[in-house]
Structure 1
Amino acid sequence: MLPPVPPPGVMPPPGVMPPPGAVPPPGVPQGWATQPGAFPPMGTGTVPPRMRPPAPPRREPQVPWWQRDGVISRVLAVAGVAVTLIGVVMLLVLAAQAGFFGPVPRVVAGAVFSAALVGAGMRVFGKAGGRVGGIALAATGIAGAYLDVVAVTAVYHWLHPVVGLAVALAVAAGGVGLAMQWKSQPLAVLVVLGAAMLAPFVTAELVLLGFLIVLQLACVPVQFGRDWPFLHVARTVPAVLATLVGIAIALIETLDHSRELWLLVASIAIAAVGLVGTVLVVRRRAGDVTATVAFAISTTPMLAVAALFDRRVGALVAAAYAVVLLSVAATVLMPKVRAVVKIPGHTAVAAAVAGAFALLEACVGVTSAQTLPIATLLVALGFLGVAGQLRSGVAAGLGIAFALIGGLAFFANATPERLASQHLAEQHLTISTALAAVTGMAVVAAGVWTIRRLAGTSRGGAEESILWIAASGAALYLVTAAIVAVSATTGAADGFVIGHSIATIVWMAAATAALLYGLRNLSRSAAIAKVALGSGLLVTTAALAKLFLFDLATLDGLIRVAAFLVVGILLLLTGTRYARAFAEAGAREPEGTTD
C-alpha cells in the first residue's frame, strides 16, 4: 500500500519519497522531491546541506622565498661546488707555483679527494632529503677529477695529449652517465660548467680547447634520452668562447702557422659536434629549439677562423663550410629527402643563415671591389630562383639580403657622379661594371617574379604598382650604367656621349613597349593595363627629363640630333596608338551596355 499523500505545503516524513504532484512547502524550490530524505524533519529549522553555499577556498599563507623548501639548500650547494673546485685548482696549480708539496702528492691528493666526494655524494643521495647534497658532492668530485686530468696532461705532461683527452672523455662520460641514472640535469650542468669554467685557470695552452671539446662531445649521447635544454648551452658555449678568444688573440698577435691550423681544427671539431649532435637530437624531438640554438652558436668559430688565413685559403674554408650548411638547409625543400632526414624547419633556417654568412665570406675572399657585385648578385639570383620555384620565404629573404649587398657594392662603384662625368666614367667604369649591371637586371626580374608568387599581390593593386615602380627605377639605373660602362671602355673619343644617347633611346623604347603592352590589354584586363600604362608613363617622364636636363647640355652634333629624333618618333607613335586605343574602347562601350 502506498503511503498517504501529505496535504499541500506539508513536508513528508524523513526518509520518505514524496509522491508525484506533491506541492513543496513555501520557500522550497522546485525539484525538492528528487530523492528520499532530501529535507530534515519538520520543525528543525535547518537548511539542507545541498542548498548551503560553497565555502570560500582557504588561502595558503605566503611563504617567503628564502623559507621555501630547497631554495637555500640549492644556493648553498652551488656555492659549495664553486668554492671546493676553486680549492682543487689551488691545490693543483697555485701550490705548484708556491713550491708546496711535490707534483705526485698534489695529483694524488686531488684524485683521492675527488673520489671521496663522489662516494659521499652517492651515499647521501640515497637518503631522505639528500638529493641536493648528493648532486652537489658528486658534481664537485667529478669536476675535480676532470681538472686533475687536465693538470696531469697540460701542466705536468705526464700523459700524452691524446691519452689525456681520452681519460678526460671517460671521466666526463662517467659524470653524465651518473646524471642520467639519477635523472638530474643539474648534476650534468654542474659537472660541465665546473670543469669548463675552471679549466682555463689550470692551463691556457691550445690543449685546453681539446678538453672543452671533449665536454661538448661527452654530453651529446645524454640529449638522446633526456630533454635537458640547459645542458645544450652548457656544453657548447665554453668551447665556442675559448676558440673565439684564441682566434681574436691570433688576429692581434703574430703567431706561428701551426697555431692557426690548430685553431682551424678546433673550429671544425666544434662545428661538427654541434651539427651532428643537433641533427641526431632534433630527429627524435622536432620541437627542441634549444638544440638548434646550440647548433647556431657552434657555427661561429668556423665563420671567424677564415680571417686567420690569406684570402684564397679563407675563401676556400668558408666555401666548403657554406656547402655543408646549405646542403643541410636544402633537405627541407625536397619532400622525399625531408621525409628521410627529418630535420625540422628551425634547424634548417639556422643552417641556411649560417651558410649564407659563410657564402658571403667566400664571395668577399675571391673577388675585388669591381667583381664583388657580380658574385653577390649571382648568389642573390640563385636564392631568388629557389624561392620562387619552391615558394620558400627563407630563401627569398636570403636572396633579397644578397641583392641589397650586391646593389650597395654596385652603387659604390657606379655612382651617379661617375655616370654623369666622362672623366670619372672612363677612369672607374669597366666591363665588370657592365656585367654587374646585367646581372642586377636579372636579379630585379627574378625578384619581381618571386615576390609576386610569395606575396600573391593582386593584379593592378597598390602593392603591385609599387613593386613595378621600384623595379622600373632600378632597371633604368642598371641599363644606363651598363651602356655607359661599355661605351666608356671602348676607348673612343665620343664613346661616353654615344653611350648616354643610346641609354636615352633605350629608356624611351622601354617606355613605349610598356605603353603598347598596356594598351593591348586595355580591353582584356584593366588591372594589367593600369600597371603597364603607369609604368610606361613613369619611364617616359624619366626619359624626357634626361633628354632635356642632361643630354641637351652634354651631347652635341649628330648624336644629339639622333637622340631627339628617335625619342620624338617614339613619342608620336605612342601618342597615336594611345589615342586610337581609347577611342576604340569608347566606341565599344555603348555596344556593351545595349546587350
Structure 2
Amino acid sequence: MASASIYHWLPQVAALVVGAAVGASELWVAHRWNSQTLGLMVSVPLLVFAPVVTGGVNEMLVCFMLAYAASTVWLQIGRDWTALFVVNTVAATAPQLGLPFTADHSQAWFVAVVGLVGLALALVSAILLAPSSSRAVIVGLIAVVAALPLPLIGATGMAERPTAVAVVGLGAAIFAFAAVGVRGVAAVPVSCRIVWIAAGAVLLSLAVGIALDGSAVSLGFLAAAVVLTVAVRWADDLADAVRIIATVFAALGLTALLGIGGGAHLTVPGLLSTGEQATLMVGAVLGLAATTVLAGEWAGRPAVDSQRVWLASGLIDLWLITELCISVGDLVTGGTDAGFRGGHLAATLIWFGCAAAALMRARTLRGQRRALVLGTGLSVIAAAIAKLFLFDLATLDGVFRVVAFIVAGLVLLSLGVAYAQRLVSDDGADDATPLGPVH
C-alpha cells in the first residue's frame, strides 16, 4: 500500500494483488498453528494503520480492505474463528461508510460496485464459515453489517435516483438469494436466513421509498405486499418470516393511503386532486388484493383465530371498497357532489351485497366454518346498517337516499325470509328424526 500510495513504485492494481497475498501469507501461519489470536495480531494492526498509509478514506483503502478480506476467507474455513471474521467484515465495511461523503458524483458507480461486492463477500464468507463456527448465528448477523453503505448512496445524494434504486434493490436481491439459496443446508441456521430475508425487506422498503415520491409510495408498498404474500407458498421454512414482512408492507401501504387523504376523503367532497384520486383508486384495488390474500394466509395458520382475522380483513376491505367507489365517482364526474354521493351509494349497496352473500353462504355450511362465515356476515351487515343511518341519511339526498333505503330494506327482507324458511325446514327435519330405536 505504501509503494502505491506514498512512493508510487507500483500501480494500484499490482499493489492490491501483492498486498492481499502478503496478508494471506501472514494468516497462513496462524492457520497452520490453529491460532486465532495470532491471526488477530496480524489483522488488527494492519487494518488500523491502513488508513494512515493511504492518507484517509479513498478508493485504494476500500479496495485493499476488500481484497484482504477476500484473500483470507479460505484460511478461516474449518476454523472456529468468529472474532477474525467480525474484524475483517467491519474493517472492509467501515471505509465504505465514509466514501459516499468524500467521493464526487463521477465516482458513484465505483461506490455502488464496491458496496455490492462487499455485501456479497460478507454473505458468501458467512455461508462458508458457518459449518465450522460455534457461533453461526453471530456470523450471519455480522454479515448484515456489510449492507450499511448501500442506503448512503442515495441518502447522500451522490448518485442519481435510478442508480440509488438499482443499488439498494440489488442489495435486497442479494439478501433474498442468500436466504433462499442455502435452503436445506443444516450448517446455516434458519435464524440467520430469517435475519437475511428481513434485511432484504428493509432494503426493499428503502428502494420503494427512493423510487416513488409522495402518494405513489403507497402503491409500491401494497404491490410488494401482494407479491410477497404470493411468494409465501414457495418460502418453506421462511414462510412465517415472509408472511410477517408482507403484513408490514401492507400496513405501511395502507398507512400511506391514509396519509394522502384516504380518511378525510370519505367525508369531504372535492378534497383531493385528480392525480390523488387516481392514486387512491389504484391503491384501494391493491389494498383489497393485499388484505384478502394476507387474510387467507394468516387464517390458515393453526394457532391463529381465523374468525378474528377475517373480521379484521373485512373491516379494512369495507374502508377500501368505500375509497374505491368514491374515487371512481369523483373521477367520472370531475369531483362534483353528485359523484361523491353516488360513490357512497355504491359503497353502501356493496356492503349490503357482501353481507347478504356471506349470510346466504352460511346457510349451506356446518360447524366452525358456518360460525365463521355467519359471524362475518352479521358484522358486515351491522356495519352497513350503521353507515346507512349514521352517515348516508345525513349525506345523501334525493334519489340516492331513496335507492339506498329501498335496496337495504329489500336485502334485509330477503334475508329474513330465507332464514325463516331454513328454520322451518330444520324443525321439520328434527320432527322426522326418530327419538330412539324401535324394539
1:438 corresponds to 2:302: no
Native 8 Å contact 2:96 2:115 kept in 1: yes
How far did residue 499 of structure 1 move?
0.5
Inter-partner Cα distance in structure 2 for 1:378 and 1:507: 25
Inter-partner Cα distance in structure 1 for 2:430 and 2:79: 74
State which of 311, 316, 320 in structure 1 corresponds to 2:166: 316
> Which residue of structure 2 lines up, in the alignment, with residue 509 of structure 1?
353
1:180 corresponds to 2:31: yes
Which structure's CA Rg is the greater one?
A: 1
Percent identical residues: 27
Native 8 Å contact 1:387 1:396 kept in 2: yes
- Match runs of 1:19-418 below 5 Å: 150-202=1-53, 203-206=55-58, 207-247=60-100, 249-250=101-102, 256-282=104-130, 288-307=136-155, 308-331=158-181, 338=184, 344-388=189-233, 390=235, 392-418=239-265
**Structure 2 SS opposite 1:535:** helix
Native 8 Å contact 1:426 1:488 kept in 2: no
1:466 corresponds to 2:311: no
State which of 374, 390, 400 in structure 2 corresponds to 1:549: 390
Native 8 Å contact 1:505 1:567 kept in 2: yes
Residues 1:363 and 1:190: Cα distance change in structure 2 (over 3 Å): same
How far did residue 293 of structure 1 move?
2.2
Native 8 Å contact 2:218 2:253 kept in 1: yes
State which of 560, 563, 577 in structure 1 corresponds to 2:404: 563
How far did residue 276 of structure 1 move?
2.5
**Structure 1 SS opposite 2:300:** helix
Letter in 2 for 1:326: A
> What are the Cα deviations for residues 265-301 of structure 1, in whole angstroms up to 9, with x where unaligned?
3212312321222233346769733331232222222
**Structure 2 SS opposite 1:225:** coil
Inter-partner Cα distance in structure 1 for 2:134 and 2:227: 29
Inter-partner Cα distance in structure 2 for 1:575 and 1:332: 57
Native 8 Å contact 2:112 2:150 kept in 1: yes
Inter-partner Cα distance in structure 2 for 1:262 and 1:452: 47
1:575 corresponds to 2:416: yes
> What are the Cα deviations for residues 205-255 of structure 1, in whole angstroms up to 9, with x where unaligned?
4122222223322320122131211111011012212211333x25xxxx5
> Which residue of structure 2 lines up, in the alignment, with residue 589 of structure 1?
430
Native 8 Å contact 1:429 1:488 kept in 2: no
Inter-partner Cα distance in structure 2 for 1:531 and 1:346: 35
> Which residue of structure 2 lines up, in the alignment, with residue 117 of structure 1?
none
Letter in 2 for 1:545: A
Instruction: Name which of structure 1's ranges 581-590 and 200-209 shifts more when overlaid on structure 2.
Output: 581-590
How far did residue 175 of structure 1 move?
1.5
**Structure 2 SS opposite 1:455:** coil
> Which residue of structure 1 lines up, in the alignment, with residue 329 of structure 2?
487
Letter in 2 for 1:431: A
Inter-partner Cα distance in structure 2 for 1:312 and 1:171: 39
**Structure 2 SS opposite 1:371:** helix
Cα root mean square deviation, aligned:
2.5
How far did residue 320 of structure 1 move?
2.7
Inter-partner Cα distance in structure 2 for 1:201 and 1:390: 47
Residues 1:274 and 1:389: Cα distance change in structure 2 (over 3 Å): closer
Letter in 2 for 1:554: T
How far did residue 424 of structure 1 move?
0.8
Native 8 Å contact 2:119 2:147 kept in 1: yes
> Which residue of structure 1 lines up, in the alignment, with residue 320 of structure 2?
478
Native 8 Å contact 1:377 1:406 kept in 2: yes
Residues 1:434 and 1:465: Cα distance change in structure 2 (over 3 Å): same
Native 8 Å contact 1:518 1:532 kept in 2: yes
Residues 1:422 and 1:570: Cα distance change in structure 2 (over 3 Å): same
Residues 1:561 and 1:538: Cα distance change in structure 2 (over 3 Å): same
Inter-partner Cα distance in structure 1 for 2:210 and 2:92: 27
How far did residue 498 of structure 1 move?
0.4
Instruction: Name which of structure 1's ranges 578-587 and 293-302 shifts more when overlaid on structure 2.
Output: 578-587
Inter-partner Cα distance in structure 2 for 1:242 and 1:351: 22
Aligned residues: 428
> What are the Cα deviations for residues 461-488 of structure 1, in whole angstroms up to 9, with x where unaligned?
xx22211210111110110111111111
> What are the Cα deviations for residues 31-81 of structure 1, in whole angstroms up to 9, with x where unaligned?
xxxxxxxxxxxxxxxxxxxxxxxxxxxxxxxxxxxxxxxxxxxxxxxxxxx
Inter-partner Cα distance in structure 1 for 2:348 and 2:400: 11
Per chain length, whose mean CA-contact separation is higher, i.e. which structure has more relative contact order (CA < 8 Å, sep 6+)?
2
Native 8 Å contact 1:425 1:485 kept in 2: no
**Structure 1 SS opposite 2:10:** coil
Letter in 2 for 1:437: A
Q: Considering fraction of residues, name the structure with more helix.
A: 2
Native 8 Å contact 1:286 1:344 kept in 2: no
Native 8 Å contact 1:233 1:294 kept in 2: yes
Inter-partner Cα distance in structure 2 for 1:326 and 1:286: 24
Inter-partner Cα distance in structure 2 for 1:190 and 1:356: 37
Letter in 1 for 2:388: L
State which of 363, 375, 379 in structure 2 corresponds to 1:519: 363
Native 8 Å contact 1:154 1:205 kept in 2: no
Letter in 2 for 1:256: D
Letter in 2 for 1:553: A
Residues 1:300 and 1:515: Cα distance change in structure 2 (over 3 Å): same
**Structure 2 SS opposite 1:424:** coil
Residues 1:161 and 1:403: Cα distance change in structure 2 (over 3 Å): same
Inter-partner Cα distance in structure 2 for 1:243 and 1:548: 62
How far did residue 593 of structure 1 move?
6.5
Inter-partner Cα distance in structure 2 for 1:417 and 1:504: 18
